Chains A and B, each alone.
Chain A
Amino acid sequence: MAAVLRADHVSKSFGPIEVLSDVSLDMQAGEVHAVIGENGAGKSTLMRILSGHLPPTKGGLVLDGEPIVFSGPVQAEERGIVLVHQEILLAEDLTVAQNLFLGREVRRAGFVDDSAMRKRAEAALAELGSRIAPDTIVRRLSIADRQLVQIARALLVPHRVVVFDEPTAVLTPVEAESLFAVIRRLKEHGTAVLYISHRLTEVKAIADRVTVLRDGRLVATRDIEGLEPIEMARLMVGRDMSKLYPAKPATASDRVVLSVERASVGGFVEEASFTLRHGEILGFGGLIGAGRTELFEGLMGLRPFQGHVILDGRTVSFRDARDAMAAGVVYLSEDRKGKGLLLRQNLRTNLTLAALDRFVRGPFIDVAAEDAALDRGIRDFDIRARRRDLLAGQLSGGNQQKLLLAKMMLVEPRIVIIDEPTRGVDIGTKEQIYRFIAALAERGCSVVVISSEMQELIGLCHRVLVMRAGRIAGEVGRDDLTEDAIVFLATGVHEQEAAEIAAGHG
């Protein structure tokens, strides 16, 4: 079978730095081709070249056997190459149908033809196996549904090659399953799919061939047959990844440091009770929207919260994050860019923001002490920045997370709540973060890990509590930690059934 689209010895440089060197890959009709690699391996650069957003510095693209140069993404789209962005780019206050046709409204006699667009939107969504009403305001949709709308929008134009950029980063397993159903349908229609992902198990599940990038170079292109995730990880990182998770610290004791009783956060959490022990790593699993984030934001005083909280035997009620931090409780938001770091400020300002009181001498901030703290932070957390005066927004996702960790550790907390600790973080950094979390527990901290990655909960935590629809659905003890046990509590159905329901056979 001939390749639909082929990258021929493509290189890309930004200034003196070559981020992609001599990469060739081809996409066949009716095939899912996965591209994997750590952050900074060149995946997104390659994807942007293929979809016409960037011109290659060397080499070129070949479409249907003919060399082609795209002037931009619009031209690439005209030739049937569409990109589904990782970020959700929708106008939240418009309806689903309005979003689908934004910028290409169907007109009749000069006016927009809403009923025609509604009908076509409904058909386009049905094609993806979704029953979202076209009149729904996008703001009301779940993240997963928004992504479906985004995919539907991309697929409205005639397409032959569809590029997915980490589409499951914000999806739960059930939602991911329905996305895979969409991808399989595309494949059956003879579309070539390029699938970029961090998650190796799902690459194993969906891809036909895998291309591994490392440091801008192509390491290997292999058939999926016989290629296991552990081997993919080894190819990506260039070393053995079997020890991704550190040994679970033996420090977990029976002494309860935090106990939360009948906690409610309006509209999100109802009557949640749990305890956290000294030196324990406690996992919180569940689907996105199950109320995990809201429960802890409420606990921290960041949302209206009702419930009884006992910290070290004393009843407490935090009015705001400052209060909670003073009591030794910190929360690291899942939304690093929106709630964790000041992207337009430098590393030093970010690092000391939460613990600024500790850097004040007399009336003024002691900048020398801040700089010393930054030196320590960079060293202890292995934050990799080209220059010290970079802005936080210029760091990679993994380094941002390390900076956020360093920032919150300056508060010297006893209870650390980390929401999605490794979202958007490459494998090498993941390992570092896991080791860091284990070390925290060993030092006697109690850690809460909220995660949608079940492997992470299983590999890292002593116990996992699973939330469903705002309530704590149950607890999975250390000896029973399996994906199936978590999925069962999170959804009320077993994983196999979930896949079947999502695929529409249920």
Chain B
Amino acid sequence: MTESALGARASGRGFSIDLRALSPFIALGVLLVVGVLVNSDFLSPSNLLNVVTRSAFIAIIAVGATFVIAGGGLDLSVGSMAAFVAGVMILTLNALGTPDASTLALGLLTALALAAACGLANGLIVTFGRIEPFIVTLGTMGIFRALVIYLAAGGTITMRNLELREIYRPVYFGTLFGIPIPIIVFVAVASVAALILYKTAFGRHVVALGSNEDVARYSGVPIWRVRTLTYVIQGLCVGIAVLVYVPRLGSATPTTGLLWELQAITAVVIGGTALRGGIGRVWGTVVGAVILELVANIMVLSNFISEFLVGAVQGAIIIVAMLVQRSLHRGGG
């Protein structure tokens, strides 16, 4: 009677390759080949490092979005939040004034705390207000954007202290063992995120919540806490991205972070995370963010398509990624 039950152990492993998990890596490989065909300089280390460095902001934000989306939520406010946090951080640094490391540290902490608070606000409104995350974050997206425009009085918020700028500069332009610091930050963020999502009870709870909220609730998962925390993690990731972003230009403007939410969600979806929740892939998201930047890079290096159409191509990619996901879902069952 138990024969079939016990026999289940032996088979199983091995021949079931998860195409969905592999597809972003395959796409990355294809893009690399295309890049080489388009321009022989493409494969140079400096170009590739540049591409990955440029993808760091979106990648870090998208890692946070992986938690929100895997948990069945959505955060449209990340781009505006980044601009708002960047603006407040620069204003704080300007107000503190003194050009030393402790000032900088205080500014950075302010940015992280504010970003986490913004995420907490999103999370609390979604969770306790029981409002669709799409609507909530659409609202906060408008609020954060307006706040940065207000703070900048319609213009630009710039770091005024040039010495402080010099101290801060290496966070974007510096390298460690030859690797640009943004890349190190982004790999570190992704590694920690992967550990949290795949190895901890919280990560398991996120996936359960995204898979079926009722089942999670009936199983004793503290869904309110879990859901709120996904938005806090998203906020923290936005904060970290801002830390790396600000030294690049040293300023925040009303257009900072515009459409980053689209890019972040695209990276997540290309990476194989299900938009309806229940499946989260941190490394897929990382690859997705790199793919977006690679596409832009190839377009700049090639002569077929105007680089002004980058947004259109990236928009098309998210649609294609969804179609591919759906066909894999049908085929794979």
Are B204 and A365 in touch, CB under 8 angstroms? yes
Chain B residues whose C-beta falls within 8 Å of the C-beta of A302 in the assembled complex:
217-218
Taking the complex as formed, is A93 at the interface, i.e. its CB lies under 8 A from any CB of chain B?
no
Chain A residues whose C-beta falls within 8 Å of the C-beta of B218 in the assembled complex:
302, 321, 331, 333, 339-340
Taking the complex as formed, is A342 at the interface, i.e. its CB lies under 8 A from any CB of chain B?
yes
Taking the complex as formed, is B5 at the interface, i.e. its CB lies under 8 A from any CB of chain A?
yes
- Given A382-B1, A386-B8, verify A325-B200 contact (CB < 8 Å): no
Taking the complex as formed, is B236 at the interface, i.e. its CB lies under 8 A from any CB of chain A?
no
Chain A residues whose C-beta falls within 8 Å of the C-beta of B207 in the assembled complex:
345, 349
- Given A302-B217, A322-B221, A342-B215, verify A356-B9 contact (CB < 8 Å): no
The CA of A386 and the CA of B9, in the complex, are separated in Å by 9
Taking the complex as formed, is A254 at the interface, i.e. its CB lies under 8 A from any CB of chain B?
no
Chain B residues whose C-beta falls within 8 Å of the C-beta of A359 in the assembled complex:
201
Taking the complex as formed, is B102 at the interface, i.e. its CB lies under 8 A from any CB of chain A?
no
Taking the complex as formed, is A19 at the interface, i.e. its CB lies under 8 A from any CB of chain B?
no
- Given A321-B217, A345-B207, A345-B278, verify A387-B212 contact (CB < 8 Å): no
- Of the candidates B1, B16, B200, B219, the one whose C-beta lies within 8 Å of that of A353 is B219
Interface string of B1-43 (1 = CB under 8 A from A): 1101110110111001000000000000000000000000000
Chain B residues whose C-beta falls within 8 Å of the C-beta of A333 in the assembled complex:
218
- Of the candidates B5, B11, B216, the one whose C-beta lies within 8 Å of that of A384 is B5
The CA of A411 and the CA of B215, in the complex, are separated in Å by 16
Q: Residue on A with the closest CB to B205?
A: A356
- Given A302-B218, A345-B207, A345-B208, verify A364-B200 contact (CB < 8 Å): yes
The CA of A353 and the CA of B195, in the complex, are separated in Å by 18
Taking the complex as formed, is B214 at the interface, i.e. its CB lies under 8 A from any CB of chain A?
yes
Chain B residues whose C-beta falls within 8 Å of the C-beta of A353 in the assembled complex:
204, 208, 215-216, 219, 221
Are A356 and B204 in touch, CB under 8 angstroms? yes
Taking the complex as formed, is B222 at the interface, i.e. its CB lies under 8 A from any CB of chain A?
yes
The CA of A463 and the CA of B209, in the complex, are separated in Å by 37
Chain A residues whose C-beta falls within 8 Å of the C-beta of B130 in the assembled complex:
none
- Of the candidates A320, A338, A349, A382, the one whose C-beta lies within 8 Å of that of B208 is A349
- Of the candidates A325, A331, A335, A388, the one whose C-beta lies within 8 Å of that of B9 is A388
Chain B residues whose C-beta falls within 8 Å of the C-beta of A320 in the assembled complex:
217, 220, 222
- Of the candidates A365, A382, A387, the one whose C-beta lies within 8 Å of that of B2 is A382
- Given A342-B211, A345-B278, A378-B6, verify A388-B217 contact (CB < 8 Å): no
Taking the complex as formed, is B199 at the interface, i.e. its CB lies under 8 A from any CB of chain A?
yes
Are B2 and A379 in touch, CB under 8 angstroms? yes
With an 8 Å Cβ cutoff, the count of chain A residues facing the other chain is 41
For residue B274, give the distance in angstroms from its CB to the closest CB of chain A. 9
Are A360 and B201 in touch, CB under 8 angstroms? yes
The CA of A386 and the CA of B207, in the complex, are separated in Å by 24
For residue B164, give the distance in angstroms from its CB to the closest CB of chain A. 37
Chain A residues whose C-beta falls within 8 Å of the C-beta of B6 in the assembled complex:
378-379
Are B221 and A382 in touch, CB under 8 angstroms? no
Q: Residue on A with the closest CB to B4?
A: A384
The CA of A333 and the CA of B215, in the complex, are separated in Å by 9
The CA of A379 and the CA of B6, in the complex, are separated in Å by 7
Taking the complex as formed, is A354 at the interface, i.e. its CB lies under 8 A from any CB of chain B?
yes
Are A322 and B220 in touch, CB under 8 angstroms? yes
Taking the complex as formed, is A385 at the interface, i.e. its CB lies under 8 A from any CB of chain B?
yes
Interface string of A304-345 (1 = CB under 8 A from B): 000000000000000011101100000101010011111111
Are B212 and A383 in touch, CB under 8 angstroms? no
Taking the complex as formed, is A66 at the interface, i.e. its CB lies under 8 A from any CB of chain B?
no
- Of the candidates A321, A335, A356, the one whose C-beta lies within 8 Å of that of B201 is A356
Q: Residue on B with the closest CB to A297?
A: B218
Chain A residues whose C-beta falls within 8 Å of the C-beta of B219 in the assembled complex:
321, 353-354, 407
Chain B residues whose C-beta falls within 8 Å of the C-beta of A331 in the assembled complex:
218
The CA of A165 and the CA of B22, in the complex, are separated in Å by 40
- Given A322-B222, A340-B215, A349-B208, verify A363-B200 contact (CB < 8 Å): yes
Chain A residues whose C-beta falls within 8 Å of the C-beta of B217 in the assembled complex:
302, 320-321, 339
The CA of A332 and the CA of B5, in the complex, are separated in Å by 23
The CA of A387 and the CA of B212, in the complex, are separated in Å by 23
Are A385 and B211 in touch, CB under 8 angstroms? no
Are A342 and B8 in touch, CB under 8 angstroms? no
- Of the candidates B13, B195, B199, the one whose C-beta lies within 8 Å of that of A389 is B13
Taking the complex as formed, is A357 at the interface, i.e. its CB lies under 8 A from any CB of chain B?
yes
A:381-433 near B, CB below 8 Å: 382-389, 394, 407, 411
Are B11 and A342 in touch, CB under 8 angstroms? no
- Of the candidates B8, B201, B211, B278, the one whose C-beta lies within 8 Å of that of A387 is B8
- Given A341-B215, A363-B200, verify A354-B11 contact (CB < 8 Å): no
Are A339 and B214 in touch, CB under 8 angstroms? yes
- Of the candidates A325, A342, A385, the one whose C-beta lies within 8 Å of that of B5 is A385
Are B205 and A386 in touch, CB under 8 angstroms? no
Chain A residues whose C-beta falls within 8 Å of the C-beta of B208 in the assembled complex:
342, 345, 349, 353
Are B2 and A386 in touch, CB under 8 angstroms? no
- Given A322-B222, A363-B200, A365-B200, verify A386-B11 contact (CB < 8 Å): yes
The CA of A375 and the CA of B2, in the complex, are separated in Å by 12
Are B5 and A364 in touch, CB under 8 angstroms? no
A:175-207 near B, CB below 8 Å: none
The CA of A379 and the CA of B4, in the complex, are separated in Å by 11
The CA of A132 and the CA of B251, in the complex, are separated in Å by 67
- Given A356-B204, A378-B8, A387-B11, verify A344-B211 contact (CB < 8 Å): yes
Most B C-beta atoms less than 10 A away, residue of A343, A345, A360, A375: A345
Are A388 and B220 in touch, CB under 8 angstroms? no
Chain A residues whose C-beta falls within 8 Å of the C-beta of B16 in the assembled complex:
389
The CA of A250 and the CA of B5, in the complex, are separated in Å by 32
Are A388 and B2 in touch, CB under 8 angstroms? no
Interface string of B299-333 (1 = CB under 8 A from A): 00000000000000000000000000000000001
* A-B contact sample (20 more), CB < 8 A, given A333-B218, A407-B219: A320-B222, A331-B218, A338-B215, A339-B214, A339-B215, A339-B218, A340-B218, A341-B215, A342-B212, A342-B215, A345-B208, A349-B207, A353-B215, A356-B201, A359-B201, A360-B201, A384-B5, A386-B4, A389-B13, A394-B333
Can you name 20 A-B pairs with beta carbons within 8 Å? A302-B217, A302-B218, A321-B217, A324-B220, A333-B218, A338-B214, A339-B217, A342-B208, A344-B212, A356-B205, A360-B201, A363-B200, A364-B199, A365-B199, A365-B204, A379-B2, A379-B6, A388-B9, A389-B13, A407-B219
Q: Which 4 A-B pairs have the closest CB atoms?
A: A322-B220, A387-B12, A364-B199, A354-B219
B: residues with CB less than 8 A from A are 1-2, 4-6, 8-9, 11-13, 16, 195, 199-201, 204-205, 207-208, 211-212, 214-222, 278-279, 333
